[in-house]
Structure 1
Amino acid sequence: MPSPIALNPISPTKSMFKKRSSTPMASATSYLSAVSQADARARAHGAATPTATPALSLSSSVTSSSEDTVLDEYDNNSDGLTLPLVAPTSEQVFTTVHSEFGHCANESFRYTSSHRLGAPAQETEEPEPPYYIVLTTYLSYILLICIGHVRDFVGKRFHPSFYYHLMPHDGYAPLNSDFDSFYTRRLKTRIDECFSHPVTGVPGRTIMLLDRVSYDHNITSHLTGTKTRALNISSYNYLGFAQARGGCADAVEEGLRRYGVAVGGTRLEGGTSELHVAAEALVARFLGQEDSLISSMGFATNSTVIPALVGKGCLVISDELNHASIRFGVRLSGASVRMFKHNDMESLENLLKEVISQGQPKTHRPWKKILIIVEGLYSMEGTLVNLPRVMELKKKYKFYLFIDEAHSIGAIGPHGRGVADYFGINPREIDLLMGTFTKSFGAAGGYVAGNKSVIDRIRLRGHSGTYAESMGPPVIIQIVASMASIMGVASPLPLARHSSHTSASSVSTVGLLEATEHHPGPAPASALPSWMDLPIELRDGSEGLTRLRRLAFNSRYLSRGLKKLGFITYGHDDSPIVPLLLFHPGKMRMFHRMMKHRETPIVVVVVAYPATSLTTSRVRFCLSAAHTKDDVDIVLRACDEIGDLLDIKNYSGERWSIQRVIDSAVELVNAEDI
């Protein structure tokens, strides 16, 4: 079977994963012309249709086919961004290989993310490392802290100009001189290579890094002018909708022509447009709730909604690992707050018994209301909330439930509806569902959904609705298009196109809910703007379902594969976030560097204090539907080699060889338990 590159006789053999010198980009017109001509030639030669994106390895003959066909001959005038600028047609889709979204037609590499009916929720263990790992980790930090204090003591006396901002001067106290400042200067700066790496382009299956170098021990860094394309295992692009081309991108482009980029689009009363009304109705339908409110910022959704729900005399019970936006919102509300041990239902029930029996402090009057706030999927741990048990406690103790689904919505469940969908629980039994559009939907902003009377109150009392800027039309259109792609559309879209800037469908939430009787179900055609003409594979929901099943396979494969290789990992098997524990501060930088400087560069996210405890630093893999099985193989091989070198294979369970893990991928994913 000829590779796509082989169809182009003048194309050199090379890979997308390499450093490129920065040169001026040619015009888009000539680029698109080259794309069209090359694809036409490929079809004329009767190209075979591979079932998957070839493995991303520079050392194999298959490597050259990792790059898009048309870009090989055009590369002399490109800037190294090896991405075609047009969406592939149904004829092209298997004759080109894309760095934004990898092709994988093998139906064996699919899995449905769901909880077995009647089975207890999976208990996510946090394996303990050997004692020598714990001891040497503490010793490493003690050594770094001691050296840092000595350097500060000497430096303040011999180089005071470097410490001017940390010392009293001109009658002013130092603005920043606490432990956070010390940690930043003496510990974090040593590993700054792991953080804030500049990138360009779309954070899809691969990502383009802007190479940088530091000459002053990471205090400053300088761009070298070269670029490196790397396998991206670090972005929250769960369903792969972070694409510069495709049906959703085409819809956004059409929306820009109609509405422009002004915030809010066609303005109506209260800073809301017809697009906002349609988007909020679709979000409510997607979640199975009566109504929803969308906000232009995910962090602000929590921090402004919670004060509108509770106040003085109310009690918030929060998981100890809840996101900072939740903590900030609770502080603003003035409500009392208690925390329970992470995902520990026994701890939660004991706390409920205590607070209900004791009532408010001093007066012991009953609480005005008790609100429990949990996350659907915890981003640092990869754990899913034990929702069945929480719902049992809710029926028993009569509290209100608020679930933050920033990471679980669109990524978990057979229909992508989040943890309620995953556990088969009616979402109407949950008082408030909050989430963001920045992960699975490839957009921006957040939402809160629930009973219509509650949402109406939040519209009036929540600061984000009154004072924050409204969401721009391109963002709303991306939300609508991607969400409709997951749901599918109940009936064909109208063929007629309208040029009016006010052609978006003005649909009430109640009308949407009446249009489809069952949840989860497809979106009614009236939920989408009449001019939005999505491709057939998006309208019928087939591509959305495929993306969900590919993500579920990749998540379970990487999580279980790492365990079989001997690594300590946290989280649920179905979580698209897979934390791998490193512990030692020095190993964070080495792991990141060794992954990035491999023959096939891999970009990973290293997480350290204050996002985690000081001694549980980790690398956090973020899976995507855009990844292929071969991509996950590459990550597992890299981890296997680096894990041996850095001595981070500390799991005490059964160990497999890397080849056995790769060969047994399907069995490993489909097994009930490992």
Structure 2
Amino acid sequence: MAIKSASPTPSIFKKKSYPAMNTAASYLSAVSEADARARAHGGTPNSTPALSLSSSVTTSSEDTVLHEIFTTVHTEFGHCGNEDYRYTSHYNPAHPVKGVTEQDPPYYILLTTYISYILVIIFGHIRDFFGKRFKHSSYRHLLAHDGYAALNSDFDSFYTRRLKLRIDDCFSHPVTGVPGRTIVLLDRYSPNYNKTFLPTGTRTRAMNLSSYNYLGFAQGKGACTEAVVESVNRYGVSACGSRLEGGTLDLHMQAESLVARFIGMEDALISSMGFATNSTIIPALVSKGCLVISDELNHASIRFGVRLSGANVRVFKHNDMQALESLLREVISQGQPKTHRPWKKILLIVEGLYSMEGTLVALPQIIELKKKYKFYLFIDEAHSIGALGPHGRGVCDYYGINPRSVDILMGTFTKSFGAAGGYISGNKVLVDRLRVYGHTGPYAEAMSPPILTQIIASMASIMGITLPEKSSSSRSLIRNTEGPIPGVEYEQYPGKAPVSALPPWMLTPSTMVDGSEGLTRLRRLAFNTRYLNRGLRKLGFITYGHDDSPIVPLLLFNPGKMAVFSRLMRTRATPIVIVVVAYPATPLVTSRVRFCLSASHTKEDIDTLLAACDEIGDLLDLKQAAGERWPLHEIITRAVELVNMEEVP
């Protein structure tokens, strides 16, 4: 499918000699200077039009750029020079922390949803009954053969075969290239009703609302990428060992030191896989005789880790502080089952941002309960670190809470930092123990050097860098618990990173040193999230989550609407790639689409998305929310006002 540019390519450029711009960093610098000239002459800096591959950046006739660099950069990270399209993610203490009220649709929506599932189940069982009786080839995997029991249970695979198979074209779509502002789909078709897919050989570039690239650091061009390329030249692509068996590089120590400073903790431990960070570290924290109190919507990695630990587990209603306090009173007073002895330790595990609901943890209330009931607190910040708070330091930064009032902060690098793996941070004694007793240390492959470099570079871009008054040719490693080193200026949390904490060969552009690049990304993401969240509600859609969440769930309810919504988005004139989610990842009747926003998106991208949702929402009867509605053109015109409102009526 050919993608048409949202605006025509300028046919006339003023011929003038310009210095060669060989890197994306120099290109972006030229763009910033062009915007500054536009402001100086009373003009307004322009944004990249939605999915434009070759549009002009500014209105000045002096500003021309290399077309190839423009095309590469802006498909990954859209240019937006308008400072009005910025917002700072923060919690207003004047407003008490309150949960998000989930709206219910009209009864006919729920009724038709249940009827849809009933019909699928009835006809599915009828087909299974006759298929197995006539021993159709499609059912061989469910039948005993040569004395063996059936490998798969028909009950276990019923949902997959009878519902998911019908809409399987909406899942696991192969892609290629950078998962940035846009993404390239490898087109495919199915000759046998979604049982198998065959490539067509063509490709489609689409707007990307499906990747966890919150700050847009997943780029093929830029300062971070150049640092990664240099690390490959120096270190290769693998550590070839576990952390406790010859796999620890100086980059591991530098990354852990920087992560600890970024989080605001004494020390940190990094792991090569985010899921494994929870599933292998939690068993090292609790064991038999301990109690884990878990939010009912916690991630599968947390649940798996708790099961491995052998600890008792109690679950409380999602983000319900009254239910949590009631449970705390019960478990503390009753003690262990049968013996009623006191628990060895009580560990409360919650998430900072819940990826299926888009809700934020009520951290101020949990801290008050922690002071009252004396339990340990573990926060999974996989989706909140880097994406929330004025400085991008997660939910503690968002709420203005000292991170050391939390015992353990866990997070991943796969979302905001454009890398892979995860971390555990806490006091030094605890982290040192986890290095030995956690299974990631002796058994898991150490994180590879390119990934470590991406983490260091992206984190330094957010923090900014403190340069010594007298630069030294050598940089020593700095662990968070060491004393001050002469010539290095230290800043309190949430301060900048000392230059000596970075690899000595890493280039540090001015935008990385002053932290302006990271701040811009944070503020663009905050604007995009509030704009889309509130814009969808003003259009009449039922959405879940908080306004500052970069994940925006839009409720579809009926399973048949998932496939139609996804296909209509993907086949528009400006294709849009989204994620649809259903049971068992969500409750049966709350199928939804999750929009994953990024700082790489421009305001015009969100306008395009809102226009698509408005049109498809009318077609599928999705606008069922109560409250005041605005027409689409008013939402687009009043976007800045909508974002800056304290409360949306």
In structure 2, the CA distance between the partners of 1:492 and 1:190, relative to structure 1 (3 Å rule), is farther
Structure 1 residues 462-484: Cα deviation after superposition (integer angstroms, max 9, x where no partner): 00111100011100000000000
Distance 1:496 1:350 in 2: 57
Distance 2:439 2:490 in 1: 33
Determine whether 1:152 maps to 2:131: no
Distance 1:200 1:553 in 2: 28
Structure 2 counterpart of 1:524, one-letter code: P
SS at match of 1:211: strand
Distance 2:71 2:232 in 1: 22
What is the aligned partner in structure 2 of residue 51 from structure 1? 45
> Structure 2 residue aligned with 1:465, among 441, 460, 467?
441
Alignment of 1:58-137 (within 5 A): 65=56, 83-84=71-72, 98-137=74-113
What is the aligned partner in structure 2 of residue 605 from structure 1? 579
Q: Given that residues 512 and 524 in structure 1 are in contact (C-alpha distance below 8 angstroms), is that contact kept between their aligned partners in structure 2? A: no
Higher mean displacement: 434-443 or 270-279: 270-279
SS at match of 1:321: coil
What is the aligned partner in structure 1 of residue 479 from structure 2? 508
Structure 1 counterpart of 2:121, one-letter code: I
Q: Given that residues 238 and 448 in structure 2 are in contact (C-alpha distance below 8 angstroms), is that contact kept between their aligned partners in structure 1? A: yes
Distance 1:665 1:247 in 2: 31
Determine whether 1:263 maps to 2:239: yes
Alignment of 1:232-251 (within 5 A): 232-251=208-227
What is the aligned partner in structure 2 of residue 655 from structure 1? 629
Q: How many Å apart are 1:377 and its aligned residue? A: 0.2
Distance 2:286 2:368 in 1: 23
What is the aligned partner in structure 1 of residue 538 from structure 2? 564
SS at match of 1:115: coil
Q: How many Å apart are 1:594 and its aligned residue? A: 0.6
Distance 2:176 2:64 in 1: 22
What is the aligned partner in structure 2 of residue 526 from structure 1? 500
In structure 2, the CA distance between the partners of 1:307 and 1:186, relative to structure 1 (3 Å rule), is same
Higher mean displacement: 606-615 or 410-419: 606-615
Distance 1:362 1:433 in 2: 33
In structure 2, the CA distance between the partners of 1:496 and 1:526, relative to structure 1 (3 Å rule), is closer
> Structure 2 residue aligned with 1:387, among 330, 340, 363?
363
In structure 2, the CA distance between the partners of 1:237 and 1:46, relative to structure 1 (3 Å rule), is closer
Determine whether 1:189 maps to 2:183: no
Distance 2:243 2:589 in 1: 51
What is the aligned partner in structure 1 of residue 3 from structure 2? none
Distance 2:359 2:611 in 1: 25
Distance 2:365 2:296 in 1: 17
SS at match of 2:482: helix
What is the aligned partner in structure 1 of residue 189 from structure 2? 213
SS at match of 1:519: coil
Q: How many Å apart are 1:155 and its aligned residue? A: 1.0
Q: Given that residues 243 and 442 in structure 2 are in contact (C-alpha distance below 8 angstroms), is that contact kept between their aligned partners in structure 1? A: no
Structure 1 residues 193-239: Cα deviation after superposition (integer angstroms, max 9, x where no partner): 11011100000000111111111111001111111110111110000
Distance 1:552 1:131 in 2: 35
Distance 2:23 2:229 in 1: 21
> Structure 2 residue aligned with 1:615, among 589, 592, 596?
589
Alignment of 1:299-338 (within 5 A): 299-338=275-314
Distance 2:71 2:274 in 1: 30
Q: How many Å apart are 1:610 and its aligned residue? A: 1.4
Determine whether 1:6 maps to 2:19: no
Structure 1 residues 541-574: Cα deviation after superposition (integer angstroms, max 9, x where no partner): 0110111000000000000000000000000000
> Structure 2 residue aligned with 1:483, among 424, 442, 459?
459
Distance 2:242 2:64 in 1: 41
Structure 2 counterpart of 1:232, one-letter code: N
Structure 2 runs not aligned, ≥5 long: 1-6, 39-43
Q: How many Å apart are 1:64 and its aligned residue? A: 5.0
Distance 1:35 1:321 in 2: 41
Distance 2:56 2:139 in 1: 54
Structure 1 residues 125-173: Cα deviation after superposition (integer angstroms, max 9, x where no partner): 1110100000100000010111111111111122433212112222322
Distance 2:455 2:428 in 1: 21
Structure 1 residues 23-45: Cα deviation after superposition (integer angstroms, max 9, x where no partner): xxxxxxxx998999x99x999x9
Q: Given that residues 156 and 163 in structure 1 are in contact (C-alpha distance below 8 angstroms), is that contact kept between their aligned partners in structure 2? A: yes
SS at match of 2:358: coil
In structure 2, the CA distance between the partners of 1:326 and 1:7, relative to structure 1 (3 Å rule), is farther
Structure 2 counterpart of 1:209, one-letter code: L
In structure 2, the CA distance between the partners of 1:396 and 1:145, relative to structure 1 (3 Å rule), is same
Q: Given that residues 47 and 82 in structure 2 are in contact (C-alpha distance below 8 angstroms), is that contact kept between their aligned partners in structure 1? A: no
Structure 2 counterpart of 1:55, one-letter code: P
What is the aligned partner in structure 1 of residue 610 from structure 2? 636
What is the aligned partner in structure 1 of residue 180 from structure 2? 204
What is the aligned partner in structure 2 of residue 171 from structure 1? 147
Distance 1:418 1:185 in 2: 40
TM-score (norm 1): 0.87
In structure 2, the CA distance between the partners of 1:346 and 1:481, relative to structure 1 (3 Å rule), is same
Q: CA RMSD in A?
A: 3.1
Q: Given that residues 51 and 207 in structure 2 are in contact (C-alpha distance below 8 angstroms), is that contact kept between their aligned partners in structure 1? A: no
Q: How many Å apart are 1:71 and its aligned residue? A: 8.0
SS at match of 2:466: coil
Structure 2 counterpart of 1:395, one-letter code: K
In structure 2, the CA distance between the partners of 1:629 and 1:284, relative to structure 1 (3 Å rule), is same
Structure 1 counterpart of 2:618, one-letter code: D
What is the aligned partner in structure 2 of residue 18 from structure 1? none
Percent identity over the alignment is 66
SS at match of 2:314: strand
Distance 2:158 2:483 in 1: 54
Q: Given that residues 314 and 367 in structure 1 are in contact (C-alpha distance below 8 angstroms), is that contact kept between their aligned partners in structure 2? A: yes
Structure 1 counterpart of 2:477, one-letter code: S
Distance 2:119 2:407 in 1: 49
SS at match of 2:411: strand
SS at match of 2:646: coil
Distance 1:46 1:364 in 2: 68
Q: Given that residues 402 and 432 in structure 1 are in contact (C-alpha distance below 8 angstroms), is that contact kept between their aligned partners in structure 2? A: yes
Structure 1 runs not aligned, ≥5 long: 11-30, 75-80, 85-96, 498-502
Q: Given that residues 493 and 530 in structure 1 are in contact (C-alpha distance below 8 angstroms), is that contact kept between their aligned partners in structure 2? A: no
Structure 1 residues 483-532: Cα deviation after superposition (integer angstroms, max 9, x where no partner): 000000011699888xxxxx885322213888634110000111101111
Distance 1:538 1:195 in 2: 37
Distance 1:159 1:125 in 2: 50
> Structure 2 residue aligned with 1:227, among 165, 182, 203?
203
Q: How many Å apart are 1:283 and its aligned residue? A: 0.3
Q: Given that residues 91 and 399 in structure 2 are in contact (C-alpha distance below 8 angstroms), is that contact kept between their aligned partners in structure 1? A: yes
Alignment of 1:568-607 (within 5 A): 568-607=542-581
Q: How many Å apart are 1:47 and its aligned residue? A: 13
SS at match of 1:245: coil
Q: How many Å apart are 1:611 and its aligned residue? A: 1.0
> Structure 2 residue aligned with 1:555, among 510, 529, 540?
529
Structure 1 residues 587-625: Cα deviation after superposition (integer angstroms, max 9, x where no partner): 000000111111111110001111111211100001100
> Structure 2 residue aligned with 1:375, among 351, 364, 379?
351
Q: How many Å apart are 1:66 and its aligned residue? A: 8.9
Structure 1 residues 325-347: Cα deviation after superposition (integer angstroms, max 9, x where no partner): 00000000000000000011111
Determine whether 1:402 maps to 2:373: no
In structure 2, the CA distance between the partners of 1:133 and 1:446, relative to structure 1 (3 Å rule), is same
Structure 1 counterpart of 2:114, one-letter code: Y
Distance 1:35 1:430 in 2: 40
Aligned positions, number: 625
